[in-house]
Homo-oligomer: A and B are copies of this chain.
Amino acid sequence: MFELTHLRCFVVLAEELHFGKAADRLHMTQSPLSRQIQVLERVLGVELFHRTSRRVTLTLAGETFLHEARRIVRLSESAALAARRVWKGEAGRISIGFTAVSGYMLLPRIVKRAAVALPGIELQLHELVSGDQSEALHTGLIDLALVRPPVNRVQFDSAPLLLEKLLVALPEDDPRAEQESFEPRDFDDKDLVMYAQRGAGYFNQLLSGLFDRAGAAPNYVQFVTQIHSLLGLVGASLAPGIVPESAAGLSPRGVVFRPLRTEPALPVELYLAWRRECENPALPAFRELCLQAVAGDA
């Protein structure tokens, strides 16, 4: 078969229609050019040029081949450029995993920034429940995860992304809905929708610790794994619940939000996590952009 060298020689000769000039442009002498063309013609079984030792012209077959040869040469150049851009992280695709609540608040801001700062990067968003995130990260389905602690520090690298306040979510018909703000001990021996230990371990531990330190023991009327479910129950007037600040952005019906005074004031953590051997070259720049997107709007 022929090679790209042959095509490059052919294209230039077809443009110059003069072996000497074409050879100059190709930084070679006439003789090897002549042979390159001969080889190409022999391999194809086609006369590409009409040569009369005085004038060189394309045959019809040569004209159609020129068309294709140009495309191939151009493609080979652009393919190299594209590969280099992906390799250098200027282009490519990044898959991001997020849980509903963490994503709804942050991702629009991140996506908007990325479109401006990293125009060659295509973002793929995967909404995943917390438990699935680390597996998705491990198998390579996603390159980056927005997760609650703890992050498995053996498999993954991570960076704190955001700290949030906690809010009390109350049914709007709850008598305490008038109250300005709350503190943990307000829920001692009071009904509360709580997070399950399995499936919502982070919020379960966070709130348990909070109530323990305050010497409060709420009456857990229901355990849920997702903030969505909790807000549904609150909206149905079952009982109040505690949610991260970003959940207020969901504006659920029949629910009002009030501050919960805690120590520290911003106890809810959100982390970025990624595989230690980060083989996606676009990832470092994108992680940086995530951190800036959060900081820039804080």
Count of identical protomers in the assembly: 2
Of A47, A84, A86, most buried by chain B (CB within 10 Å of CB) is A86
Check B80–A61 contact: CB distance below 8 A. Answer: no
Check B280–A84 contact: CB distance below 8 A. Answer: no
1/0 per residue A32-45: CB within 8 Å of B?
00000000000111
- Known: A59-B279, A281-B61. Is A2-B86 also a contact (CB below 8 A)? no
When C-beta atoms are compared, the residue in chain B nearest to A65 turns out to be B83
Check A84–B279 contact: CB distance below 8 A. Answer: no
Check B44–A68 contact: CB distance below 8 A. Answer: no
Check B279–A83 contact: CB distance below 8 A. Answer: no
A56–B60 CA distance with the chains assembled, in angstroms: 45
Of A43, A62, A79, most buried by chain B (CB within 10 Å of CB) is A79
Interchain nearest-CB distance for A6 vs B (Å): 9
1/0 per residue A270-281: CB within 8 Å of B?
000000000111
Check A48–B83 contact: CB distance below 8 A. Answer: yes
Check B1–A83 contact: CB distance below 8 A. Answer: no
1/0 per residue A62-80: CB within 8 Å of B?
1011001101100110111
A92–B281 CA distance with the chains assembled, in angstroms: 47
Check A87–B280 contact: CB distance below 8 A. Answer: no
- Flag whether A229 is at the interface (Cβ < 8 A): no
When C-beta atoms are compared, the residue in chain B nearest to A43 turns out to be B80
Interface positions, chain A 43-61, Cβ under 8 Å from B, are 43-48, 50, 59-61
9 further interface pairs, Cβ-Cβ under 8 Å (given A1-B76, A46-B83, A60-B281): A2-B76, A45-B87, A47-B87, A50-B279, A61-B92, A68-B79, A68-B82, A72-B79, A75-B75
> What 8 pairs across the A-B complex have the smallest Cβ distances?
A68-B79, A61-B87, A65-B83, A46-B87, A61-B86, A3-B3, A46-B83, A61-B83
Residue pairs across A and B with Cβ atoms less than 8 A apart, 25 shown, are A1-B4, A3-B4, A3-B5, A7-B76, A44-B87, A45-B84, A45-B87, A46-B86, A59-B279, A60-B92, A60-B281, A61-B84, A61-B86, A61-B87, A61-B281, A62-B83, A64-B82, A64-B83, A64-B86, A64-B91, A65-B79, A65-B83, A65-B86, A68-B78, A68-B79
